[in-house]
Amino acid sequence: MDIFVGSLSFKLKESELREAFEKFGEVSSAKIIIDKITRQSKGFGFVEMPDESQARTAISELNGTEMYGRPLVVNESKGKETGGKPADSGRSRDDAPRSFNRDRPSGGGGYSSGGNSGGYSGGNSGYGGRDGGGRGRSEQSRGDRFGGRDQGRGGDYKRGGGGSSRRGEDRDEW
């Protein structure tokens, strides 16, 4: 049985955790979870005991016991969910929590093909809000994608312009 052990002192070592559980039976593994960045204990760990009755005895005896001045939280591990999110959480997509932009009307994501749709602006609204301010206005309201510095160069790549309209010029000017 896999056992969760929480509220561990940062001073506690895996060997000490193992010894505490070995008083109640065989321990196949004891692991304290370490933060990858700080290399410090996250304050919890897991102990695996092959005999379920010994594991249940250890849980009931050690839950609330103090180690290094901290009361342990010991219970049966609920298991690790693979892939971050469960495949079926039992909730329909309509009940799912909404992101902050989900209820806002938009023309789609990514880059737009002109007009007043999409991009990061969500329509003609601009980058940051509904008042038309900020970045990311559509090509119609800006004149061109590059704020005027690309005048006479053949238009927007997305519209099939594909580069300079003046053939044979040196592209180093860009």
Q: What is the pLDDT of residues 8-25, one digit of tens each?
A: 999 999 999 999 999 999
Same domain, 66 and 118: no
- Which pLDDT value is given to residue 78? 87
Considering the entire predicted model, what is its pTM? 0.47
Share of the chain above pLDDT 70, in %: 45
Task: Answer yes or no: is 41 within a domain.
Answer: yes
Q: H or E segment at 139?
A: helix 139-142
Residue range(s) defining the domain that contains residue 60: 2-75
Residue 42 maps to a domain: yes
C-beta of residue 12 within 8 angstroms of C-beta of residue 41:
yes
* Residue pLDDT, tens place only, 96-124: 565 565 555 655 555 545 555 455 545 55
Mean pLDDT of the 139-150 span: 53
Does residue 121 lie within any of the structural domains?
A: yes
Decide: 15 and 74 in contact? Cβ < 8 Å.
Answer: no
